[in-house]
Structure 1
Amino acid sequence: MPARVVGDNRPVASTQTGAHAATPPSRHVRRLRRRWTWWLGVLLIVGGLGLLGYVAWQFWGTNWVSHRTHERIVSQVAKEWQDGSTGTTGTTGSTGTAGAAVEVAEGNVTALVRIPRFGDDYVVPVLEGTDDDVLAAGYGHFEDAAGPGQLGNYAIAAHRVTHGEPLRHMPELRPGDEIVVETRDATYTYELTTGGDDLVVPFTAGWVVDPLPDNPEPGGVEPDQQQGQRLITLTTCSELFHTDNRLVAFGVLKDRTPR
């Protein structure tokens, strides 16, 4: 490199070899980066709000809608039963019917369930079947199970959380608690023989809705294995959030009062 002379204001030549100084991004590139960053932020916010909205709807919105549905169905059913309307014939098991059902938009209502431990105002309709639409409107009656008061097992299921959550407090049920089932013809009072959290089974455990449930686990929770009983079985999710397990409670008919 040539020596600089005092007073020489010329810039010093670069001594870098084989490399170039970094070139700052152009204004266009910077603008694109800012735009993509802005849109990414918007998408994250919208996605977060959508997720919060979905959770709010599932845990609060569906409950509000289902409670209104319960009230409407109960009112309609009570009126039709009082008026003696014929309604439609409900299929309540292979052993026959337990009175005529009331047809509503959600399906055929064959009974109303009251559980005194859950409060004097607790009353939830029972509809035929156990698909999502039915369970959003109340209890679902397993179609191959016995009807209310019939020989065998009157098996019903309901949500523990969301869609009115009829069995949210099932773990609070104790042996001796009453389950009252009202139909057009009679009121059936069952007494629980097991607690609401005494038995947890996988959702594939079909034996719990058999005419006489027989637990395959030696010494497991099950009803008295006496033949000729009139049983009731309640099933719901074992946890408040998603689970493949079910809580199951058994009871036996103690009283029938004609309407």
Structure 2
Amino acid sequence: MPQVDAPEESGDAGRVRRRRRRPVDPDADGTQPASPRRRISFWLGCGLIAAGLAVLAWVAWQFWGTNWQSGRKHEEVRSSLLDGWTDGQDVVRTDFGNASAILRIPRFGKDYSVPVLEGSTDEVLAAGVGHMEDTAEPGAAGNYALAAHRVTHGEPFADFPELEPGDEVIVETRAATYTYVLDSGGEDLIIPFTQTWVLDESPANPSGGTEPPARVDGKPNDHIITLLTCSEIFHTDNRSVVFGHLVETSPTNRG
């Protein structure tokens, strides 16, 4: 039997090569949960995004939503007021307060027509212009004072700074239409909201300067109108104020 030579064994015979295991990346395939710090950062980021969206939504509602809503309220109150006048009511009760007049200011446009409600509550000022408590009635001797928003909630006095001396302010009631002429401009007088002298029957500025009532034909005019609103677009404790005096009264023939 022929002899078969056995193969020569190398020095590496029987040696098993071992591969090094690479570290597993926990984020590579999601097989390992994220660390607590990563989870906190993730949810904190989500919370900040949600808070930012909520703030943007609030701002959008304040600047556009409330104006749209108040525009509908203005129309509803104005319509109710005209119907009530036809029925012989001087003051008409609405869902937002008692309405008594319609304010027109040609400087603000030929279509400007905003209802006047009694008082100065948030509900009243969201539905029109507010007739300040304890001030004179339209056309009467004394100080007929009106307040309204400059921004949001319909913005009846959005263009307040544009008012100039000589501008007309027309107040229509069931009995008559009263035309006032302004003696000061929209940027002439700015006061802290705590200074209530502008609502006095015969306002006198304690700091001096031009004081109402205006003089008409050389005589003091005691039939005054006062308009006031916020002095800034954003929140402020200051108020812009204008004064005017009555120049004409016209009956309306409503009976």
Does structure 2 conserve the Cα–Cα contact (< 8 Å) formed by 1:112 and 1:124? yes
TM-score normalised by length of structure 2: 0.82
From 214, 222, 225, the counterpart of 1:229: 222
Structure 1 SS opposite 2:58: helix
Aligned residue for 1:64? 68
Does structure 2 conserve the Cα–Cα contact (< 8 Å) formed by 1:199 and 1:221? no
Does structure 1 conserve the Cα–Cα contact (< 8 Å) formed by 2:162 and 2:186? yes
Does structure 2 conserve the Cα–Cα contact (< 8 Å) formed by 1:234 and 1:248? yes
Cα deviation, residue 220, structure 1: 4.5
Cα deviation, residue 195, structure 1: 0.8
After TM superposition, the structure 1 stretch with the greater mean CA deviation from structure 2, 123-132 or 223-232, is 223-232
Measure the CA separation in 2 of the matches of 1:169 and 1:58. Answer: 18
Aligned residue for 2:23? none
Aligned residue for 2:87? 84
Cα deviation, residue 228, structure 1: 5.9
After TM superposition, the structure 1 stretch with the greater mean CA deviation from structure 2, 232-241 or 214-223, is 214-223
Structure 1 vs Structure 2 CA RMSD: 1.8
From 135, 149, 167, the counterpart of 1:145: 135
Cα deviation, residue 68, structure 1: 1.2
Aligned residue for 1:157? 147
Q: Structure 2 matches for 1:35-46, cutoff 5 A?
A: 35-46=39-50
Instruction: State the number of aligned residues.
Output: 220
Is 1:204–2:194 an aligned residue pair? yes
Q: Which has the larger radius of gyration?
A: 2
Aligned residue for 2:79? 75
From 233, 236, 239, the counterpart of 1:240: 233
TM-score normalised by length of structure 1: 0.81
Does structure 1 conserve the Cα–Cα contact (< 8 Å) formed by 2:221 and 2:245? no
Measure the CA separation in 2 of the matches of 1:29 and 1:63. Answer: 49
Identity of aligned residues (%): 56
Cα deviation, residue 84, structure 1: 2.2
Structure 2 SS opposite 1:67: helix
Cα displacement string for residues 191-246 of structure 1 (whole angstroms, at most 9, x for unaligned residues): 10111111111101100010110000122454337666111000000010111111
**Gap regions ≥5 residues in structure 2:** 1-30
Does structure 2 conserve the Cα–Cα contact (< 8 Å) formed by 1:160 and 1:237? yes
Measure the CA separation in 2 of the matches of 1:28 and 1:146. Answer: 77
Output the amino acid matched with 2:153. Answer: H
Output the amino acid matched with 2:243. Answer: F
Q: Structure 2 matches for 1:11-160, cutoff 5 A?
A: 30-81=34-85, 83-86=86-89, 100-160=90-150
